[in-house]
């Protein structure tokens, strides 16, 4: 098996204002798999130099130690003048293998450079874990929390041309996942070891795939409370959800394109199945700014960089129609179901075969309904269904029902949105105020009403569910909605949105890999992902 460049360090920032706290964080980070521990001195409050030395004494040699005392100007919390900051770095340097100094500080005066050079050659208190053990190594760093640094190319060049600089580090707030592709290019072409990080939600993939481009390190936090930069993953997410240790050059990359996507449940679900089935693939959030052009630019760039390994995408709000247009413009293959629904929620890319698109909400809804009713799709013929909502999900649900002979009445708050669907799908419509007037065997909620955080809302004002009727709520955050609770209380059969979510994700797998999993892998993965979310306040909350 070809391995990724796992000389790439897993770097974990640690900080505490007590000697015991700092020592414990150091040991926990190493136990968790850190090969580089970054002591963020600027986040250590009033801790003294002696306390830092005590905490670092006899640190296990399995990890290298990096000292960072970040200035406020570069996103840290140290308010000291550069001179005092560098003197403190110099005093503590003997306990560390590497030091991080900002390029701005380095270039600001000869005196500052002299202090840094001195810190690099201070006799060490531990054997240096370095290729050139005569001195510790210097990371020259550039940070921009507002966006892409305007002088990025010049800054990089200056770091590269500075003899004392061993490792170039650049970190900026990504506007879109496209910034990550630029970070990969920096890593690929930099003549010195480099760290290129895109911060924020759109930058996750730059952290995850850093080893593929030979990065010196990627940063992960001990836990969510100790995240030191926006978008940083925890070690557990990196190692468990994204299987960092198993990623290699041949790993295929899948992901969910949307905006926002940081709370998507899809990575937790797909990665569970990828792991269980032993496929060499990883699935990541891909935040692409709204609008057709950002989507097109990202897809074209991912196509033009085969080394990135992008093979398939889930597509969610606001890009489902953009994905359709992209395939039309690029001559990609739009399958019959996507054409019928009028939106794409799944893309596949094959360097030899080009782009393909489908809509798996159709299959997901159909599977949820037929499983819930305990009948084959053929037996849907003639059942009466009331569908609430006229958005993207509604189109997939209606197409699936109508194609199998159901008699559909659609009701939507905004008349203009549902009117065109009457002729397109050959269905009836009812004014929103009269949505519960017609008899229905099946009621399907395709509105966002009832979704978190407004969980006490319900789209069904009817005072009863006709005896024996079936209620399907496509909303799945929360899993049990007010609508499903009311329906169960009235004796109706309930189908939950999670069933559709699992079904559409399973259909994505089949679209990407050419065959169904053949078992209930996605039901289990969805269940496990939801259970994991229930115990994590910051966990994903939507698709
Ligand atoms: P969408 O295109 O934005 O459509 C939203 C629909 O909700 C529209 O019909 C809208 O009516 C209606 N709506 C919103 N607020 C309303 C309110 N206060 N009262 C009445 N109607 C209201 O969204 P979508 O992509 O179709 O997604 C809809 C829902 O489906 C999501 O919220 C999600 O919970 C669920 N979903 C589930 C899955 C799954 O796998 N289970 C997958 C995707 C989505 P107007 O036209 O009047 O604005």
Q: Distance from the CA of 391 to the center of ligand 1, in angstroms?
A: 6
CB of 412 shorter than 6 A to ligand 1? yes
CB of 391 shorter than 6 A to ligand 1? yes
Q: Rounded to two decimals, what is the model's pTM?
A: 0.86
**Substitution candidate for ligand 1 out of 315, 412, 447 with most atoms within 8 A of CB:** 447
**Substitution candidate for ligand 1 out of 389, 475, 541 with most atoms within 8 A of CB:** 389
CB of 504 shorter than 6 A to ligand 1? yes
* Tokens at 214, concatenated: 């030979």
Distance of CA 390 to the CA centre of its chain: 28
- pLDDT value at residue 540: 45
- pLDDT value at residue 249: 83
- pLDDT value at residue 437: 84
Q: Distance from the CA of 450 to the center of ligand 1, in angstroms?
A: 10
Counting from 1 in the atom list of ligand 1, the atom nearest the Cα of 413 is: 47
- pLDDT value at residue 353: 83
Report the candidate in 251, 309, 307 with the shortest Cα–Cα distance to residue 279.
251
Taking the chain (543 residues) in runs of 10, the rounded mean pLDDT of each run is: 61 97 97 96 97 94 96 93 96 96 97 96 73 81 93 97 97 92 93 96 91 93 88 92 88 94 89 95 93 96 87 95 96 96 95 93 97 92 96 96 97 96 97 90 95 93 70 93 93 94 98 95 95 63 40
74 Rama sector, left if φ>0, alpha if ψ -120 to 50, beta otherwise: alpha
CB of 99 shorter than 6 A to ligand 1? no
Beta strands 346-350 and 310-315, pairing class: antiparallel
- pLDDT value at residue 5: 47
> Sheet containing 333-334: which strands, arranged edge to edge?
281-287, 252-258, 310-315, 346-350, 354-358, 333-334
243 Rama sector, left if φ>0, alpha if ψ -120 to 50, beta otherwise: left
Report the alpha-carbon distance of residue 367 to residue 377 in Å, rounded.
Answer: 8
Q: Distance from the CA of 388 to the center of ligand 1, in angstroms?
A: 9
Report the alpha-carbon distance of residue 296 to residue 34 in Å, rounded.
Answer: 37
Would residue 296 show up in a list of annotated catalytic residues for this protein?
no
Protein residue with least CA distance to atom 1, ligand 1: 391
Report the alpha-carbon distance of residue 410 to residue 68 in Å, rounded.
Answer: 60
CB of 386 shorter than 6 A to ligand 1? no
**Substitution candidate for ligand 1 out of 314, 368, 448, 452 with most atoms within 8 A of CB:** 448
Protein residue with least CA distance to atom 12, ligand 1: 447
Planar angle of CA 261, 452, 532, nearest 5 degrees: 65
Q: What is the 3-state secondary structure (H, E, C) of 57-99?
A: CCCCCCCEEEEECCEHHHCCCECCCHHHHHHHHHHHHHHCCEE
Cα–Cα distances in angstroms (integers) from residue 538 to residues 225, 230, 262, 263, in the given order:
11, 14, 10, 9
Beta strands 407-412 and 64-68, pairing class: unpaired
Positions of E strands within 392-508: 407-412, 428-431, 442-445, 470-473, 493-495
CB of 414 shorter than 6 A to ligand 1? yes
Report the candidate in 312, 276, 281 with the shortest Cα–Cα distance to residue 527.
276
Query: Domains in the chain, please, with CATH?
Result: 9-249 (3.20.20.70), 254-359+503-535 (3.40.50.10860), 362-495 (3.40.50.720)
Q: Distance from the CA of 392 to the center of ligand 1, in angstroms?
A: 8
Q: Distance from the CA of 2 to the center of ligand 1, in angstroms?
A: 44
Planar angle of CA 305, 309, 315, nearest 5 degrees: 95
CB of 364 shorter than 6 A to ligand 1? yes
CB of 497 shorter than 6 A to ligand 1? yes
Q: Distance from the CA of 427 to the center of ligand 1, in angstroms?
A: 19
CB of 449 shorter than 6 A to ligand 1? yes
Length of the chain, please? 543
- pLDDT value at residue 469: 85
CB of 316 shorter than 6 A to ligand 1? no
* Tokens at 326, concatenated: 């992209």
Q: Distance from the CA of 292 to the center of ligand 1, in angstroms?
A: 21
- pLDDT value at residue 57: 93
Report the alpha-carbon distance of residue 80 to residue 140 in Å, rounded.
Answer: 19
Return the DSSP state at 391: S
Protein residue with least CA distance to atom 2, ligand 1: 391
């Amino acid at each position: 098996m070809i391995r990724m460049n796992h000389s790439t360090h897993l770097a974990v920032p640690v900080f505490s204002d007590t000697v015991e706290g700092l020592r414990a964080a150091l040991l926990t980070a190493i136990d968790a798999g850190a090969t580089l521990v970054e002591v963020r001195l600027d986040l250590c409050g009033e801790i003294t130099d002696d306390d830092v030395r005590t905490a670092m004494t006899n640190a296990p040699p399995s990890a290298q130690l990096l000292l960072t005392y970040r200035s406020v100007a570069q996103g840290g919390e140290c308010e000291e003048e550069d001179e005092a900051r560098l003197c403190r770095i110099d005093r503590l340097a003997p306990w560390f293998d590497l030091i991080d100094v900002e390029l701005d500080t380095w270039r600001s005066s000869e005196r500052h450079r002299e202090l840094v050079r001195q810190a690099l050659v201070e006799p060490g208190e531990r054997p240096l874990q370095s290729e050139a053990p005569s001195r510790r190594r210097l990371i020259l760093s550039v940070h921009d929390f507002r966006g892409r640094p305007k002088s990025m190319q010049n800054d990089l060049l200056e770091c590269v041309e500075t003899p004392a600089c061993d490792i170039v580090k650049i970190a900026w707030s990504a506007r879109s996942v496209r910034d990550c592709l630029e970070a990969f290019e920096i890593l690929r072409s930099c003549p010195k070891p480099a760290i290129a990080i895109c911060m924020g939600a759109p930058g996750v993939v730059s952290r995850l795939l850093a080893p593929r481009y030979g990065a010196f390190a990627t940063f992960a936090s001990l836990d969510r409370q100790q995240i030191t930069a926006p978008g940083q993953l925890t070690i557990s997410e990196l190692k468990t959800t994204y299987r960092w240790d198993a990623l290699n050059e041949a790993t295929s990359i899948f992901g969910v394109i949307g905006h926002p996507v940081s709370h998507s449940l899809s990575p937790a679900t797909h990665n569970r199945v990828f792991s269980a089935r032993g496929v060499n693939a990883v699935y990541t959030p891909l935040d692409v700014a709204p609008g057709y052009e950002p989507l097109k630019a990202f897809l074209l760039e991912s196509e033009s960089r085969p080394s990135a390994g992008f093979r398939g995408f889930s597509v969610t709000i606001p890009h489902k129609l953009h994905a359709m247009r992209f395939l039309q413009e690029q001559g990609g293959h739009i399958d019959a179901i996507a054409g019928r629904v009028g939106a794409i929620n799944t893309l596949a890319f094959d360097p030899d075969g080009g782009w393909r698109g489908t809509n798996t909400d159709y299959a997901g809804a159909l599977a949820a309904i037929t499983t819930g009713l305990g009948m084959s799709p053929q037996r849907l013929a003639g059942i009466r269904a009331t569908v609430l909502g006229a958005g993207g999900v509604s189109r997939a649900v209606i197409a699936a029902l109508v194609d199998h002979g159901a008699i559909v009445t659609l009701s939507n708050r905004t008349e203009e949105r549902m009117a065109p669907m009457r002729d397109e799908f050959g269905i009836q419509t009812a004014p929103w105020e009269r949505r519960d007037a017609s008899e229905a065997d099946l009621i399907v909620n395709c509105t966002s009403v009832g979704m978190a955080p407004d969980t006490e809302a319900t789209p069904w004002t009817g005072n009863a569910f006709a005896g024996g009727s079936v209620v399907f709520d496509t909303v799945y955050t929360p899993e049990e909605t007010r609508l499903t609770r009311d329906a169960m209380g009235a004796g109706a059969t309930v189908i939950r949105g999670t069933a559709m979510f699992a079904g559409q994700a399973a259909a994505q797998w089949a679209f990407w890999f050419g065959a169904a999993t053949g078992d209930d892998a996605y039901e289990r993965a969805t269940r496990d992902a939801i259970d994991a979310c229930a115990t994590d306040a910051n966990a994903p909350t939507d698709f």
